[in-house]
Structure formats: structure tokens, C-alpha cells
């Protein structure tokens, strides 16, 4: 059904386009034209301006060519993590990788390529389809900014799929955590470390005492916490009076997320107070969790579609967030699909050609099976 040679060429073309977070203009313009060429009505929203980027979300719609068929949303994000410039993809032994000094960008250009080729196959073969909405988001890697700020009135679909996960095609992510960011500033008291250290309160020591008591890492099967960044101190001869710590908590259970967040806040506040310091704790709620049941229509359609092309459906949970967190929150049940990307966010990133093509075939199957389901 799909044209493998064409799809590979398009994927390689996409990987060579630098698309840093909030600088997706070049790839955004290309994708707008590709969608227009496929017959979609396309527009770019105002999110780029809202978040200080140079490109907004690209949203396209292909009307149904049959009666009473549901609209399906297909989504992928346009931005990549660094280093994403001057990518030189290598195809060798059925594996696509970078030359080793950049990422490849399969996260998430593999999702983009699969959506484009899947729709192209539908259009070229004049297959029956319901409405197809395409949402290419910006600044996913920067904190899901594109989906976070999209006007939910633009979303027309009954259900959706975000093509943005590792794992072979057939993997269906139905549960994902919510996240809180926890920014901490610990204040001590500055003093000369050699002349009068007893007059100071070492903020680094206070931080260390708090961190020693902090529950972090794997809390339980659906909850995690991490201390990611610590900055503090100016010189070895000065008792440091300020330390900044950036943390996060995640859970697929909102009560557990709240409890872990409060534990972290309380630990920093109590330890600072007990040792003569003070602390500022700022909590930012990044996104909510989502849970899709196995019998949800969006899940069942993905399972049926995977099976129809010989893929093994695997339903599972994840510890990472994605645009699907917000789409689900807006009332569009959205599952995340595996596209085969591996070792993402590293210069060792790669994807199998087979997985690339199978993902596009899965897109075709989802669109066509949605019609028979309706």
C-alpha cells in the first residue's frame, strides 16, 4: 500500500532540517505545503507567538468521503532536542541512524513521515475514509507547549493518536503520568569560611540534609520523583547562602502525585527551618495524567488495526508525558503509538526501516478500519 522508497526519501529529507524547539519555521512551512498537496485544508495557529517561537501548530483537515464516519486525529511534534542541526543520516543494513555527532530526529520525524505517507496512500488509492485531522505541534520537547496552548476548539476528532513513542509499531500507550515541577531556593547565611564560618549557615549543607531525607527515584509502580539540577556557591572561602534545586514528581494517580509533591515541599521547608535557614518552594503543574481503558474505542481501533496488518498489539503504560496528555484533557481520547524510535535524545538514536514502514501501514489501517467501525 505505501511507497517505501518515497517514504524513506521523505524521512531522510525531514531529518536534515534543523527544527530546534521554538524554531520550527522551516519544517513547518514544508509540512503545510505537503498537507495542502494532499488535499487538506491547512492553517497555522497563533501558538508560536504565544510561546515566543517562530512557528505555530500546523493543523490540517481532510473531509470524509463517506457518510457517517468518525473523524480521526493524527498528531506528531515538529521539534527535536539538540543537537539537531547538520544531521547526516546513514542507512545501513535496514537501520537508519545519524553519523554519530547529532541526534537522528526520528523523535518525532518518524511520526510525521508515517502520517504523511499514510494519508498519501489513502488519497492515491481513493480509499474510503472519515474525516482526518492532522495536528503537527511545536515545542513538545520544551514542555508540551504546542498542545498546552492550542485552542481546543480547533480539535474536531472523536479520537486521536499521537505517533510519538519508542517500541515497535503495535505498541499502544494507554496510561501516562501527570507531572509537577518543583523549584526550590534554599537560603542560608553568608560568612567568611576561614575567619568566621560559625557565623554562616551553609545552604549547600542544608540542601544535602534535605536531599538525604527525600523520597526520590521509583516511588511505586506509577509514581516517580527526581532531583535534576542543583546550583549554588561562589567560592570555597565563602559559606554559601543560596542553593537552587530543580525537581519533578510524576504519577499516573493524581492523589499520589499530590502526596509526593507535598512530601518534597515539606521536606525542604522543615529541614531549612530546623537548621536556621529558610526556603522558597514554587510548584508548577505541568500536565495531568490520562488513563484509557482497554475497551475504549480509541484503544480497540488501534488493536484491530494492528492485527489487521500482522502486527502484535501491546497495550502498556508509560512514565513519560506527551501531547496526548493535553489532548485527552481536552476531551479527545488519544493513545500514543510506538513508531520504533530507539535511544532517543542521544547521538546513538536510530530506527529500523521496517518499523518506519509498518507505522505508515498502521496509519492506513487505522483510517480504513475507522470507517468499517462507524
Q: Where are the domains of the chain?
A: 4-176+289-373, 178-287
Task: Count CA within 13 A, CB hemisphere, residue 162.
Answer: 28
β-partners of residue 250 are 179, 224
pTM of the model: 0.92
Question: Residue 67: its pLDDT value, please?
Answer: 87
Question: Residue 138: its pLDDT value, please?
Answer: 98
Is the Cβ–Cβ distance between 187 and 277 less than 8 Å?
yes
Is the Cβ–Cβ distance between 203 and 187 less than 8 Å?
yes
Reading the block at residue 319, the C-alpha cell is: 512514565
The b-or-e profile of 164-195 (16+ CB within 10 A means b, else e) is: bbbbbbbbbbbbbbbbbbbebbbbbebbeeee
Reading the block at residue 239, the C-alpha cell is: 559559606
Q: Kindly calculate the radius of gyration of the chain based on its CA atoms and give it in whole angstroms.
A: 23
Q: Domain 178-287, what fold? A: Alpha-Beta Plaits (3.30.70)
What top-level class would CATH report for the domain 4-176+289-373?
A: alpha beta
Place of cell 545519524: 98
Residues marked as catalytic: 79, 140
Task: Count CA within 13 A, CB hemisphere, residue 147.
Answer: 30
Question: Residue 374: its pLDDT value, please?
Answer: 61
The three-state secondary structure class of 333 is coil
Pairing of β 159-166 and β 72-77: parallel
pLDDT in tens, the chain (374 residues): 899 999 999 999 999 999 999 999 999 999 999 999 999 999 999 999 999 999 999 999 999 999 888 999 999 999 999 999 999 999 999 999 999 999 999 999 999 999 999 999 999 999 999 999 999 999 999 999 999 999 999 999 999 999 999 999 999 999 999 999 999 999 999 999 999 999 999 999 999 999 999 999 999 999 999 999 999 999 999 999 999 999 999 999 999 999 999 999 999 999 999 999 999 999 999 999 999 999 999 999 999 999 999 999 999 999 999 999 999 999 999 999 999 999 999 999 999 999 999 999 999 999 999 997 76
Amino acid at each position: 500500500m505505501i511507497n517505501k522508497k518515497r517514504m524513506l526519501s521523505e524521512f531522510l529529507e525531514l531529518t536534515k532540517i534543523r527544527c530546534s524547539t521554538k524554531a520550527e519555521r522551516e519544517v513547518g512551512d514544508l509540512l503545510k505545503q505537503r498537507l495542502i498537496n494532499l488535499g487538506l485544508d491547512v492553517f497555522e495557529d497563533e501558538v508560536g507567538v504565544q510561546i515566543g517561537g517562530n512557528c505555530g501548530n500546523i493543523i490540517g483537515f481532510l473531509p470524509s468521503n463517506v457518510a457517517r464516519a468518525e473523524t480521526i486525529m493524527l498528531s506528531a511534534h515538529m521539534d527535536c532536542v539538540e543537537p539537531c542541526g547538520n544531521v547526516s543520516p546513514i542507512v545501513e543494513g535496514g537501520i537508519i541512524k545519524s553519523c554519530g555527532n547529532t541526534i537522528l530526529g526520528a523523535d518525532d520525524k518518524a511520526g510525521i513521515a508515517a502520517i504523511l505517507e499514510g494519508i498519501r496512500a489513502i488519497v492515491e488509492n481513493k480509499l474510503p475514509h472519515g474525516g482526518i485531522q492532522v495536528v503537527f505541534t511545536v515545542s513538545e520537547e520544551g514542555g508540551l507547549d504546542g498542545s498546552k496552548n492550542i485552542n481546543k476548539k480547533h480539535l474536531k476528532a472523536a479520537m486521536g493518536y499521537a505517533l510519538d513513542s519508542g517500541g515497535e509499531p503495535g505498541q499502544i500507550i494507554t496510561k501516562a503520568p501527570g507531572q509537577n515541577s518543583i523549584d526550590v531556593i534554599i537560603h542560608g547565611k553568608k560568612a567568611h569560611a576561614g575567619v568566621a564560618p560559625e557565623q554562616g549557615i551553609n545552604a549547600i549543607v542544608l540542601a544535602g540534609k534535605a536531599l538525604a531525607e527525600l523520597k526520590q527515584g521509583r516511588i511505586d509502580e506509577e509514581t516517580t520523583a527526581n532531583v535534576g539540577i542543583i546550583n549554588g556557591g561562589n567560592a570555597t572561602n565563602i559559606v554559601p547562602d543560596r542553593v537552587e534545586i530543580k525537581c519533578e514528581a510524576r504519577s499516573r494517580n493524581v492523589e499520589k502525585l499530590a502526596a509526593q509533591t507535598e512530601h518534597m515541599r515539606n521536606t525542604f521547608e522543615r529541614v531549612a527551618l530546623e537548621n536556621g535557614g529558610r526556603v522558597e518552594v514554587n510548584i508548577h503543574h505541568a500536565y495531568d495524567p490520562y488513563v484509557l481503558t482497554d475497551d475504549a474505542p480509541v484503544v480497540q481501533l488501534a488493536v484491530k488495526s494492528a492485527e489487521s496488518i500482522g502486527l502484535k498489539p501491546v497495550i502498556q503504560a508509560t512514565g513519560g508525558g506527551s501531547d496526548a496528555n493535553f489532548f485527552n484533557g481536552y476531551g479527545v481520547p488519544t493513545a500514543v503509538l510506538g513508531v520504533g524510535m530507539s535511544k532517543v535524545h542521544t547521538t546513538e538514536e536510530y530506527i529500523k526501516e521496517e518499523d518506519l514502514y509498518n507505522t505508515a501501514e498502521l496509519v492506513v489501517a487505522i483510517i480504513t478500519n475507522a470507517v468499517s467501525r462507524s
